[in-house]
Amino acid sequence: MKTTTFRGPQAKSPKAHGKKILLALVGVGLLFGALNVSASPEQDRQNLLDFFSSKYPDIKAGNYVYGALAFDPDAMAQYNSIMDFPPFSSVVEQGKKMWETPFKNGKTYASCFPNGGKNVAGNYPYFDDKAGKVVTFEMAINACRTANGEDAYKYNDMKTMGTLTSYARTLSDGMPMNIKVQGPAATAAYEAGKSQFYSRRGQLNFSCASCHVANAGNHLRSEVLSPAVGQSTHWPVFRGGENLVTLQERYVGCNKQVRAVPFAPGSVEYNDLEYFHSYISNGLPLKASVFRK
C-alpha cells in the first residue's frame, strides 16, 4: 500500500510540517463547524474565501481559477506556453462543428439557449423547482437534443458530450459564475452537495475537503493540491494532449483515488455536489477547455 504524503510548497522539517497540517486540519474542522451551524450558502462561500486568504494571503482570490497553478510560478509559465498553441484545439473545433451542425429538424443547439448559448454556462447548475432537482449544463444539452428528436448523450462519453461541451462552455468564457440557491428545495439540494463535499469516504477515509480545503497548496506526492474555490470554473479540461476530462468524471476519479465506489456521472449525488461546488466559486470568471495536469 502506498503512503499518502503531503508536502507544503516549501521544504519544512517533519515536526514543523506536521504542526502545519494539524493546524490546517483543525482549521477546516472549525470551518466545517461554521458551515453546519445554520450558515447560508453565501456564508459558506465567504468562510472558504476567508480560510484561503488567511492561509495564503499573497494569493489573490481571482487567481484560484488557475487551481494548483496559483501556487507554482513555473507551472503557470508552462500553462501559458501550452495555451498559446494548445495541442487539443482540434477537439474544441470538433465540438464547434457539433454545436453548429443542425439537427434533423433543421434547428441547432443555439436555438435552445438564450443568446445562442453565449454567457449561459455560468448559470448552471440551477435548481428546477418544477422538476424538483438540480439541472446541469449537460442535462440542458440533452434536453435540447431530445426536444429536437435526437437521442440523449451519455454524460461520461468524451467523444460526444465531452467534445461538445469542450466548445459549448467556451461560449461563456469570462462570464462570472452565477449560481442561485433560492427556496427550501434548492437549499436542500445545496446542503446535500455540501455534505458530499465534506463527508469522508473510501478506504483512505478522505473527503473532498481533506485535499482541497485543509491541504490546498500542499503536495500530494508530486502534485500540488488545488483549492476548492475556483475549481468548477474551467471544465472540461485537457489533462495532457487530447485527454479530455469533464468535472463529474473528475469526481469519479477522485472517489476511486480514495478507494471509494464512485457514483455515476449525471447522478443526483454528483449533480448536487456540482451545485454546491459551483456556488462557492460565484463571481469568478469561467475559462473552459484549458490544460491541467
The C-alpha R_g of the chain, in whole angstroms, comes to 19
CA 43 to centroid of chain Cα atoms: 19
Tell me if 145 is assigned to a ligand binding site: no
Q: How many whole angstroms separate alpha carbon 127 and alpha carbon 275?
A: 8
Cell readout for 108 is 441547432
Q: Are strands 133-135 and 237-238 parallel, antiparallel or unpaired?
A: unpaired
Residue 98 a catalytic site member: no
The amino acid sitting at 212 is H
Angle in degrees, 0-180, between the axes of helices 184-198 and 41-55, rounded to the nearest 10:
30
Tell me if 212 is assigned to a ligand binding site: yes
Tell me if 144 is assigned to a ligand binding site: yes
Tell me if 254 is assigned to a ligand binding site: yes
Q: How many whole angstroms separate alpha carbon 189 and alpha carbon 134?
A: 7
Q: How many whole angstroms separate alpha carbon 203 and alpha carbon 117?
A: 42
Tell me if 292 is assigned to a ligand binding site: no
CB neighbour list of residue 106: distance below 8 Å, 6 or more residues apart: none
Burial of 116 (0-12, 13-18, 19+ CB in 10 A): middle
Query: From the candidates 152, 254, 260, 268, which is the catalytic residue?
Result: 254
Q: How many whole angstroms separate alpha carbon 290 and alpha carbon 181?
A: 28
Residues annotated as catalytic (active site), given as ranges: 254
Residue list, annotated binding site for substrate: 250
Give the residue ranges of the annotated binding site for heme c: 112, 144, 208, 211-212, 254
